[in-house]
Amino acid sequence: MLRKEDLAQIEQRGSSVKTVEEQIERFKKGFPWMKIVAPATPERGIQVLDEAQAAAAVEYYEGAEINGKCKFVPASGAASRMFKDLFSGLDALKEGKELADSAPAAKFVDQIAEFAFYTPELFGEQTCKCPEYRKDVLSKTLTDAGLGYGAKPKGVLKFHKYTDGEIRTAFAEHLVEAQNYMRNEDGSANLVVTISPEHQHLFEEAYAEVKAAYEAKYGVKYNINFTFQDKATDTVAVDVENRPFRTETDSLLFRPAGHGALIYNLNAIADEVVSIKNIDNVANERLLGETAKWKKVLLGKALELRDTLHGYLRELDIVTNQNIANAFAPAIPAHTGFGNEDVYQSEEVRNLCDDIEAFLDQTLCIKMPVAESCKARVEALREKLNRPVRVAGMVKNQGEPGGGPFVIAEKDGSTSLQVLESVQINMSDEHAKNALATATHFNPVDIVCCLHDYKGESFDLLKYVDEDAGFISSKSYQGRELKALELPGLWNGAMSKWNTLFVEVPLETFNPVKVVLDLLRPAHQS
């Protein structure tokens, strides 16, 4: 199936033949459906905090010991989907068709002066509904005849205009956020921003424009690391018969494997605490107080969970090591038959295991299967506890796109909290379909992670990926149908084996810009 020329192409990309062959086999086998137990709700699976509890979480964050923290912002890719409706409108006008006033492209032109990127020099001071004017405005927005926004990344687009005349990009708003709630003790703010190599100069220019002013205004020192999605994580495409898809030059076609590939970027971060938020989820600074408050709530809950898990692990070390020491002490006659299993059968160990199982069940929705022995029980609990931590904010379901929180059954017989996308849910299964229909919340990608273990070492995050949690999508290339493989998503399967806590956050903290008209919403206006 693979040719000699293919091997050279694969090697040049930094991948391996074994990986490509496994990907082709995955197309053939598909991915198993996630086994849903129930949607995560405030009754079980989502913590809803009152004001006192929220304040306590903020206080916990502000008093916690942290070995470095940073903001992780996925910002790869162009904003073409954000302008999809405008491209359609421009194509229609070029074909001599007229736009209905209710069409998104027409609404955009009619309100062009409300956008932060509007200037009368470029777009003119007068507006009209005539086709030629609409075509001119759309062209100047999307193409190199003007702003060229149709091919630029969201991060460098002008999102907000302030009453004092300042104009900020989405990236600039992330800089303002970072200095507020992710500042280190030395006054620095670390950001890791994942971008495409071809866009690096745009981000560097956008950063250079505001760096000095923001550092002076907010008394902060920024440390920015622009990282790329490794080409080696791209996945091979296949045709409808699961054969390697070949381009017009007869070479293999590789495609970016979705945001799941960013687990490699996250794994390279040395800081202990990481806040994750998408590039387009920002708001006018007047809303930063509420946004920062709830981000600090998530940070506090994550650190509280970290400390609880680490405390249990240290207790397990103490009681089991003490029992082992006692078991093999010289004072104990060899003929007593005090074997390895006996070490784990003390009342102290059993009580501690009971406490841990109750905590995992009540707090993280992890129900443990019955262990074969006392030793197996201790080791299973130790393995469950010693994992990366994520606390994810969840907002009430308002019909926005995005994954949702669920309790699922794991392969080892336990249960856990997971974020699932709709493509991971078997809609022909009535139980799964009903779980989706009765879900109360969805995932806005507002996540805090703790990436160090209880001994202070960084986790190898690649060990906690569920390779069965990816999905296959239908795409096209030059009009030819193909199948694409998406790696387990960053906040889905890539974090599947993490210890997860869901916390409800206000809808006001979620202000994504998925289409350009979203910039007319109140959160993006002064």
Domain membership flag for residue 12: no
pLDDT of the residue at 373: 93
Q: How many CB atoms lie within 10 A of CB 393?
A: 25
416-442: average pLDDT: 92
**Among 151, 181, 205, where does a domain finish?**
151
187 in the Ramachandran plot: left (φ > 0), alpha (ψ -120 to 50) or beta? left
- pLDDT (tens digit per residue) in 111-163: 999 999 999 999 998 778 899 999 999 999 999 999 999 999 999 999 999 99
- 250 shares a domain with 171: yes
Tell me which of 80 and 520 has the higher pLDDT. Answer: 520
Q: Which two tokens stand for residue 472?
A: 């296959």
Looking at every residue in the chain, the average pLDDT score rounds to: 93
Judged against a pLDDT cut of 90, whether residue 341 lies above it is answered with no
- 147 shares a domain with 35: no
For the chain, the domain total comes to 3
Domain membership flag for residue 103: yes
Domain membership flag for residue 177: yes
Identify the three-state secondary structure at position 126: coil
Share of the chain above pLDDT 70, in %: 96
Q: Which domain holds residue 125?
A: 81-151
pLDDT of the residue at 125: 86
Calpha distance 228→200 (Å, rounded): 9
50-59, 254-263, 276-285, 299-308: segment of lowest average pLDDT:
254-263
289-314: average pLDDT: 98
pLDDT of the residue at 328: 47
- 187 shares a domain with 118: no
pLDDT band, very low/low/confident/very high, at 329 (cuts 50, 70, 90): very low
- pLDDT (tens digit per residue) in 206-225: 999 999 999 999 999 999 99
pLDDT band, very low/low/confident/very high, at 339 (cuts 50, 70, 90): very low
- 435 shares a domain with 344: no
Domain membership flag for residue 351: yes
- 108 shares a domain with 51: no
- 418 shares a domain with 486: yes
66-75, 435-444, 511-520: segment of lowest average pLDDT:
435-444
**Among 318, 353, 385, where does a domain finish?**
385
Identify the three-state secondary structure at position 219: coil
pLDDT band, very low/low/confident/very high, at 336 (cuts 50, 70, 90): very low
pLDDT of the residue at 340: 63
- 177 shares a domain with 51: yes
- pLDDT (tens digit per residue) in 388-398: 999 999 999 97
Domain membership flag for residue 11: no
Amino acid of residue 37: V
- pLDDT (tens digit per residue) in 499-526: 999 999 999 999 999 999 999 999 999 9
Identify the three-state secondary structure at position 234: coil
- 276 shares a domain with 202: yes
**Among 111, 128, 151, where does a domain finish?**
151
377-386: average pLDDT: 96
pLDDT of the residue at 325: 52
pLDDT band, very low/low/confident/very high, at 94 (cuts 50, 70, 90): very high
- 422 shares a domain with 372: no
- 240 shares a domain with 175: yes
Cβ atoms 359, 402 nearer than 8 A: no
How far lies 440's CA from each of 44, 51, 412, in Å? 11, 21, 27
Calpha distance 47→49 (Å, rounded): 6
Domain membership flag for residue 1: no
Q: Which two tokens stand for residue 381?
A: 């609990």
- pLDDT (tens digit per residue) in 455-500: 999 999 999 999 999 989 899 999 899 999 999 999 999 999 999 9
Calpha distance 57→49 (Å, rounded): 9
Residues 6+ positions from 260 with CB-CB distance below 8 Å = 470, 486, 487, 488, 489, 490, 492, 493, 494
Cβ atoms 116, 519 nearer than 8 A: yes
Domain membership flag for residue 71: yes
- Pairing of the two strands 441-442 and 389-396: antiparallel
pLDDT of the residue at 401: 54
Domain membership flag for residue 5: no
- 72 shares a domain with 178: yes
Judged against a pLDDT cut of 60, whether residue 429 lies above it is answered with yes
- pLDDT (tens digit per residue) in 221-272: 999 999 998 888 999 999 999 999 999 999 999 998 889 999 999 999 999 9
- 117 shares a domain with 104: yes
Q: Residue 397 belongs to a domain with what CATH number?
A: 3.90.550.10
